[in-house]
């Protein structure tokens, strides 16, 4: 059994019930371990039982107290009925913390994306969060307000702040989660329930490795050489954000800087500096976009040349020597 040094997280999460979707791997698993190490009871939710069993064993290594409970529920959260069943069978009338981590990205040009892939992305990146959050908020509201703050946490992406080519089937859905959170936050004020949104940058996971298999060259160029942090480091940044009461949590510097481009009416962290950077980006963004559009045009010219060269080779007459 491993434990971590005492911090404010022990007080915030100890004896609380946390439900984590997408918990069989990646950030969901890392968060489950971090929450369990801070004294929470944790319910891991995902679609594959074999992976969940292994995940529970990994979380168990971080036990803080003998009385803690960690278990799994197999569910496909693209179904509202399944999401309602998860909350109904979580072990208490309502959870204290819900982490909507399920999701995934297939980085491709929209021109190369099938309608089936688009539908799948809607279900994985939006429906899973919508249905789990909806079932959770209804159960939490039914149980009435609590003296301590409860939370339903959405996981968006830094691509919400700056969506660009290659993320057409992904970024719009992550943007929708911010809007959903803004609405839910207002509805749940009187129940003492917060609705933070995490805008994660790149972090190492099975999903990130899969994303890179299909990522177009132009997407890599615009994205730049951003170094991916570990899933464990990302989880700790999320926990730190929750401990400090942030409602808009970024996991790297570029994410925080880009957040100034889309302030809106959502809660802000470091209000003064965020607004200042927002003003700066308002002037700088058109210049940056000019360079991006130039790179995209060059990319398509290069792709067209490849196609023309391939067609030329395929139609070249055979000669006998």
* Model confidence pLDDT, tens digit, residues 151-161: 999 999 999 99
Q: What is the rounded distance in angstroms from the CA atom of residue 40 to the CA atom of residue 19?
A: 10
The rounded distance, in Å, linking the Cα atoms of 46 and 25 is 9
Q: What was the pLDDT predicted at 321?
A: 43
User: Does residue 8 register a pLDDT over 60?
Assistant: no
Distance between start and end Cα atoms, the chain: 75
**Mean per-residue pLDDT for 72-90?**
97
Rounded CA-CA distance 40/55 in Å is 16
Q: Which helix (H) or strand (E) holds 46?
A: strand 41-46
Catalytic residue among 121, 127, 156, 169: 156
Looking at residue 311, its pLDDT comes to 63
User: Residue 75 has what pLDDT?
Assistant: 97
pLDDT top residue among 168 and 313:
168
What is the percent of the chain where pLDDT is above 90?
68
Q: For residue 207, name the pLDDT band (cuts at 50, 70, 90).
A: confident
* Better pLDDT: 76 or 262: 76
Number of other CB atoms surrounding residue 161 within 10 Å: 24
DSSP code per residue over 195-263: --EEEE--EESHHHHHHHHH--HHHHHHH-SPPPEEHHHHHHHHHHHHHTT-SEEESSHHHHHHHGGG-
Distant-in-sequence, close-in-space partners of 275: CB < 8 Å, separation ≥ 6: 260, 263, 268
Mean pLDDT computed over every residue of the chain: 89
Greater confidence (313 vs 250) lies with 250
Q: What is the mean pLDDT of residues 254-281?
A: 72
Give the tokens for residue 316: 């070249």
Give me the pLDDT at residue 279, please. 76
Residue 266 a catalytic site member: no
Task: For tokens 């569910």, name the residue.
Answer: 75
- How far apart (Å, rounded) are the C-alpha atoms in residues 261 and 279? 8
More confidently predicted of 49 and 292:
49
pLDDT band at residue 255, thresholds of 50, 70 and 90? confident
Q: Is the pLDDT of residue 17 over 70?
A: yes
**Mapping DSSP to helix (H, G, I), strand (E, B) and coil, where does residue 36 land?**
helix
What pLDDT, on the 0 to 100 scale, is given for residue 3?
45
Task: Check if 170 is active-site.
Answer: yes
The residue with greater pLDDT, 321 or 120, is 120
More confident residue, 88 or 1: 88
- In terms of C-beta density within 10 A (0-12 exposed, 13-18 middle, 19 or more buried), how is residue 272 classed? exposed
Q: What average pLDDT score do residues 281-303 get?
A: 83
Cα 171 to Cα 15: distance, rounded to the nearest angstrom: 35
State yes or no: pLDDT of 295 exceeds 70: yes
Among the listed residues 16, 108, 174, 237, the single catalytic one is 174
Q: Which of 34, 94, 170, 205 is catalytic?
A: 170
Q: Give the model's confidence band at 24: pLDDT under 50 very low, under 70 low, under 90 confident, else very high.
A: very high
Tokens at residue 242, please?
A: 């929750």
Region of residue 270 (phi > 0: left; psi between -120 and 50: alpha; otherwise: beta)? left
Other CB atoms within 10 Å distance of the CB of residue 267: 17
Q: Give yes or no: 148 in active site.
A: no
What band does 286 get if pLDDT is binned at 50, 70 and 90? confident
DSSP notation for 249-289: EESSHHHHHHHGGG-TTS--SSHHHHHHHHHHHHHHHHHHH
Query: What is the per-residue burial (b if ≥16 Cβ within 10 Å, else e) of 91-112?
Result: eeebbbbbbbbbbbbbbbbeee
Instruction: State the pLDDT at residue 5.
Output: 47
As a whole-number percent, the residues of the chain with pLDDT over 70 amount to 88
Q: How many CB atoms lie within 10 A of CB 220?
A: 13
Identify the band that residue 77 occupies on the pLDDT scale cut at 50, 70 and 90: very high
Residue with more model confidence, 10 or 298: 298
Higher pLDDT, 116 or 311: 116
> How far apart, in Å, are the Cα atoms of 47 and each of 40, 183, 200?
22, 28, 23
């Amino acid at each position: 059994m491993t434990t971590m040094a005492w911090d404010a997280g022990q007080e915030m999460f100890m004896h609380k019930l946390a439900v984590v979707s997408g918990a069989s791997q990646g950030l969901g698993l890392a968060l489950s371990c971090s929450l369990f190490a801070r004294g929470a009871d944790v319910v891991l939710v995902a679609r594959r039982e074999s992976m969940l069993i292994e995940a529970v064993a990994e979380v168990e290594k971080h036990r803080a107290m003998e009385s803690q409970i960690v278990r799994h529920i197999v569910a496909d959260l693209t179904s509202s009925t399944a999401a309602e069943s998860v909350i109904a069978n979580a072990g208490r009338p309502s959870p204290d913390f819900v982490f909507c981590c399920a999701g995934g990205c297939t980085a491709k040009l929209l021109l190369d994306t099938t309608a089936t892939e688009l539908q799948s992305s809607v279900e994985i990146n939006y429906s899973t969060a919508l249905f789990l959050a909806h079932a959770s908020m209804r159960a939490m509201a039914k149980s009435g307000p609590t003296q301590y703050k409860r939370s339903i946490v959405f996981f968006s992406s830094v691509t919400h702040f700056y969506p660009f080519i290659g993320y057409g089937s992904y970024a719009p859905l992550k943007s929708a989660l911010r809007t959903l959170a803004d609405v839910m936050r207002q509805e749940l004020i009187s129940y003492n329930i917060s609705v933070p949104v995490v805008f994660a940058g790149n972090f190492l996971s099975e999903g990130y490795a899969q994303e890179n298999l299909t990522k177009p060259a132009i997407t890599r160029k615009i994205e730049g050489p951003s170094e991916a942090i570990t899933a464990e480091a990302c989880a700790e940044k999320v926990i730190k954000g929750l401990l400090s009461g942030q409602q808009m949590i970024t996991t790297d510097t570029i994410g925080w800087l880009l957040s100034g481009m889309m302030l809106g009416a959502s809660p802000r962290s470091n209000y003064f500096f965020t607004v200042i950077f927002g003003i700066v980006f308002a002037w700088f963004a058109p210049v940056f976009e000019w360079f991006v559009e130039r790179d995209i045009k060059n990319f398509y010219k290069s792709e067209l040349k490849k196609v023309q060269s391939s067609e030329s080779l395929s139609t070249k007459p055979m000669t006998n020597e």
